[in-house]
Structure 1
Amino acid sequence: MTPRTTPAFRLPRRRALAAAAVGVAAVLTLSSCSAEAKNSGGDSGKGSGAKTRTVTDIAGKVEVPAEPRRIVSVDFYSPAALVDLGIKPIGVVEGFDDPDPNLRPKKYHDALGKTATVGTYYELNIEAVAKQDPDMIFAETRFLRKGELERLQGIAPVVQLDASGVGAWEDRTLMIAAAVGKADEGKRQQTVFRKRAAELKTEYADVLTKNKIAVFGYGQDQSTWGTYPAGHFYVPSWDAVGARFRSFTEGEHKGEPGTVSQWLSLEQIGKLSNADILIHSYGAGDFVTSLSKNTVWKNLPAVKNGLVFENIPAAVVSSFEWGTESLNQLDTLLARIDAKAGK
């Protein structure tokens, strides 16, 4: 995936992590209560007499093929969920050919690295989408530019996705499973994920309940920093195990749930004093090392207590099996934190 030059829309990379200022879609409530599909018995879609189903997405009801065979994903998230369900989309956004372990687990790179691309999730190539002749399209509409949704709908039925808030990504994943007629399998994978999360929540209850964490990254030129709150797409694994996040301080956050803090200058790094444990973004070790000459940084409680750790790679969970893999990695990290914090 090629990142934007604007920090507000970059997903975590190995050498830098700039946060997406993710707006909360009010229509999300429409999707959280129902992701089930039902037979409509209609005759529409690709091909004469093709059977269809009606599914619920964030915008309401949409009629899709009963057995979609040519799916194009113009969002970052649905390709991984589809792979988990045994489905390979015929078109995806750029980046799946990149083996960077901080982008996604190797499983998804291997499955989709040679799949046709249709631009980026924030800068689509509509013509490339049409060229694939899809019978279904998945799109996260908050990233579409003006008029693109209508153009996509002129090509094939579009299932509109979004997720913000603690655990909301699970609703999105179940919606994807329902849209392709695999709701039961999606629920099964969710059960596995939640069981693993519950195990870690119990095993590390002491360190998780007694400490507040701050998961932080830096801006494009390493002259600014920001933290990720509960519900942000960079911390779903931490949310799943019940981590307690530090509170934002005055002037640090705009107030939108699930969005990154304001990007602050290094002179304000002292705001992290209300965190017992600091988790820096994966691959940001050089940035943390550069802070070693910053007196305020050195006097932060977490720094003085040696409780600064690197986050797990590929933290932007896009599916339940991805999430379960992330929890297994988090298990190792929590064991290290527990051993250190318990001294």
Structure 2
Amino acid sequence: MYRSRKTPLAITLLLCLTLLLSACSTGGTGSPSANEGSQKPTNQIAANNANNTDTQSQMKTVTTIKGDIEVPVNPQRVVVLYLMGDLLALGVNPVGISSIEEGAAFASELEGATSLGAFKPDPEAVTALNPDLIIVTNEEIYEGLKMIAPTVYIPYDLPVEERMNMLGEILGKEGQAQEMLDNLHKKVEQSKEKLEQAGILDKTVTIMESNKGSMAVMTGLGYGRGSQIIYQYLGMKAPEVLQREIENARNDATSKDVSYEVLPEYVGDYIFRSSFEGMVDLSDNSIWNNIPAVKEGRLIDMSFGLFFYNDIYSLDKQLDFIVDNLLKTAE
């Protein structure tokens, strides 16, 4: 009797131990109800990190003057030379820029960016900024920087419409680029109406900058100094002797040195003179002082820094200055 009762008890204990071990094992592998809550956040974090990495590394192909180039879909660290105002107008704050001329329209907007100098930037300085996109306006500089990061070459003398369309595609801001162009064109038309009502729109204009012993007279739209706003957008004309050269040069960055002896032949109803510290003082020059535009108060001095650039941000401010000062002469 004793042995027959002992055997079932051992079997029972063994069976209980087996069930207990089985239950522990089941908990270790994780039941849906016990482990879903603890695993889901970890999985979500991993997924989010993967998405962020994908977004940062995502690339697209754009067609440039130098062929097809892979650029970031959403660039975060852009180095841009000369065309800083175009990027600002598109809502992009660059990390590296070329040095800014004093008086530039966008100077206060770029105080946090690293200046890379006025001319050829040091590749090591550019590399130190860890850029994911570089935009340049000089072919030689393009060759020197293109191995650092995706680099786009955009010639500085391209018409602003073509340049903004290119930048809009490169930066993924096509709609914003078109909006900026539409706003500029609308403002130009309004400005032309004001000048026409004041009897100024059909007057002739000469744009010049003092040199030692001569005067540089603008003959191309790519030289800046207000030439694009005055001759292209507002459609005002230069004296006939210059107008033919302007039409032939189109967007080229060209000027013509004219001696003071023959300068009156090149001067229109209005003069816009690029002014800067240390420019030639003509206050005692009798030829200069007897030019009708100078003698009759139609000489308008413009800041070299404001009119040095031809980006859309600067063009907008230049338009304001030119129209306001022309209208003042009619008051």
Deviations 1:267-315 (A, max 9, x none): 3323334x1211211447974xx43433332333323443222236612
Decide which of 323, 332, 335 is 2:324's aligned counterpart. 332
Question: Is 1:228 matched with 2:218?
Answer: yes
Tell me how far 1:197 sits from its aligned partner: 0.7
Q: Matched residues in 2 for 1:153 and 1:285: separation?
A: 38
- Per-residue Cα deviation, 1:158-211 (whole angstroms, up to 9, x for no partner): 11111437xx12322332222110011011011111111110112212644431
**8 Å CA contact retained: 2:204, 2:239:** yes
The DSSP-based 3-state class of the residue aligned with 1:245 is: coil
Please tell me the residue identity of whatever aligns with 1:186: A
Counterpart amino acid of 1:150? E
Q: Which of 132, 136, 139 is 2:136 aligned to?
A: 139
Residue 213 of structure 2 corresponds to residue 215 of structure 1: no
Q: TM-score, normalised by structure 2?
A: 0.72
- Alignment partners' CA distance in 1, 2:278 and 2:98: 29
1:22-65, Cα deviation, whole Å (9 max, x unpaired): xxxxxxxxxxxxxxxxxxxxxxxx99992212223333432211
1:129 aligns with 2:120: no
Which of 233, 258, 265 is the aligned partner of 2:259? 265
Residue in 2 that maps onto 1:59: 66
Cα distance in structure 1, aligned partners of 2:56 and 2:115: 30
Q: 1:171 aligns with which of 159, 162, 180?
A: 162
Name the Cα RMSD after superposition. Answer: 3.0
Equivalent of 2:150 in 157, 171, 193: 157
Q: What SS does the corresponding residue of 1:244 show, helix, strand or coil?
A: coil
Instruction: Determine the structure 2 residue equivalent to 1:278.
Output: 271
The match for 1:28 is none
Q: Compare CA radii of gyration and give the structure with the larger one.
A: 2
The C-alpha deviation readout for 1:195-234, integer Å capped at 9, x for no partner, is: 1111011221264443111011112xx3221111351322
Higher helix proportion (structure 1 or 2): 2
Q: Which amino acid aligns with 2:95?
A: I
Q: Distance in 2 between matches of 1:111 and 1:316?
A: 17
User: Equivalent of 2:238, from 233, 237, 245?
Assistant: 245
* Aligned equivalent of 1:294: 285
5+ residue gaps in structure 2? 1-52
Number of residue pairs aligned between Structure 1 and Structure 2: 271
Task: Give 3-state SS (helix, strand or coil) of 1:172's partner.
Answer: helix
Give the drift of 1:325: 2.6
- Identity percentage of aligned residues: 21
SS in 1 for 2:255: coil
Q: Report the residue type matching 1:307 in the other structure.
A: R
Structure 1: give runs of 5+ residues left out of the alignment: 1-45
TM-score, scaled relative to structure 1: 0.69
Q: Secondary structure of the residue that 1:123 maps to in structure 2?
A: coil
- Which structure would you say has the larger RCO, counting Cα contacts within 8 Å and 6 or more residues apart? 1
Give the CA deviation at 1:240: 1.7
Structure 2 contact 96–115 (Cα < 8 Å) conserved: yes
**Alignment partners' CA distance in 2, 1:201 and 1:91:** 37
The structure-2 alpha-carbon separation of the partners of 1:92 and 1:180, relative to structure 1 and needing over 3 Å to count, comes to same
- 2: distance between equivalents of 1:68 and 1:49? 8
Task: Determine if the alignment matches structure 1 residue 112 to structure 2 residue 110.
Answer: yes
User: Which residue in the other structure is 2:88 paired with?
Assistant: 83
Provide Cα deviations, 1:212-264, integer angstroms capped at 9, x if missing partner.
11011112xx3221111351322222232222122446xx99x7443332323
Distance of 1:117 and 1:285 partners within structure 2: 24
Q: Secondary structure at the match of 1:124?
A: coil
